[in-house]
Structure 1
């Protein structure tokens, strides 16, 4: 992953993030406003990957108020020119190393059954962290408007051991 910079997003990134998510063709595209909100108010739990002037990747997440030991990954996107090079996992590792995640013991996300690359990414993260990955039902198809959205399964990774800066993990 040469020339990739991982950092917190800023509002100027919102437009490029929106385009990145749109161009993946597989993620739910939210309004441009929602990406601006993420960049402004949730930047401590979001990560962008840039390569020069290109938005190479993005992860958005938040700490659910009712589960302070959990980080919920809302979306993760990697530009097609950077797929298969470990960028998705690097984005997640950067997120977990953040001060905002120091008390996180579990990572959750939802994934549709047909999104096998994301399933592999999160199962691989669990394996690398030396912890479990439980999968359960979350949102059924009939909850989504339009009748074209697949169901979403909840992936719960953890418990996650305390992280040390530099990528090390210890009990």
Structure 2
């Protein structure tokens, strides 16, 4: 568990636990335009993928969460599934701090790349991952990965696969 403070209330980072699943579901609902997952999915994110996720708490309240995993066929890559930051945690660089918290964990000792998918119009996510890449001294590349019509039946904007790396873990 890591505690970081600023001029505001301290934020504590920790690995998620299954009791966070319902809290995560509610947090995502408060963070549009994030795609909500089922509560069951959130329970799996908080249990099966706990070592590659992070929960951020302020005064005992979940104010940030990142879910991620290491794809079985890419043991050197951390895939970030979703980043959620409650309005109470915004303006403090919380999302980037959570990314750095995950990368320095023992579960990520072989990680040299970070991947995620982002829609073209998600300016906040683009800024976050560009800033993370700069901080890590790593290259950022992207390509269209999930196409609007082909993969989403026209119901969701295309997602671009963003890849950062290689980088060296800093801990």
TM-score range for the pair, normalised by the shorter chain length: over 0.9
2:22: which partner in 1? 15
1:68: which partner in 2? 75
Contact kept in structure 1, 2:103 and 2:169, CA below 8 Å: no
1:129: which partner in 2? 136
Please give the secondary structure, in 1, of the residue aligned with 2:34: coil
1:169: which partner in 2? none
Please give the secondary structure, in 1, of the residue aligned with 2:30: helix
TM-score (norm 1): 0.92
Task: State yes or no: 1:152 paired with 2:156.
Answer: no
For residue 162 of structure 1, report the CA deviation from its aligned partner.
Answer: 3.7
Task: State yes or no: 1:95 paired with 2:102.
Answer: yes
1:1-171 maps to which residues of 2 (within 5 A)?
A: 1=6, 2-142=9-149, 143-145=151-153, 147-163=154-170, 165=171
Distance 2:158 2:90 in 1: 25
Distance 2:24 2:162 in 1: 24
Please give the secondary structure, in 1, of the residue aligned with 2:163: strand
For residue 71 of structure 1, report the CA deviation from its aligned partner.
Answer: 0.5
Please give the secondary structure, in 1, of the residue aligned with 2:164: strand
Single out whichever of 80-89 and 111-120 deviates more from structure 2: 80-89
Paired residues in the alignment total 163
TM-score (norm 2): 0.92
For residue 96 of structure 1, report the CA deviation from its aligned partner.
Answer: 0.4
Q: Structure 2: give runs of 5+ residues left out of the alignment.
A: 1-5
Q: RMSD between aligned alpha carbons? A: 1.0
Distance 1:55 1:82 in 2: 9
Moved over 6 A (4+): none
Please give the secondary structure, in 2, of the residue aligned with 1:72: strand
For residue 89 of structure 1, report the CA deviation from its aligned partner.
Answer: 0.4
Q: Deviations over 1:127-165 (max 9, x none)?
A: 0111110011110002114x33110001100001143x3
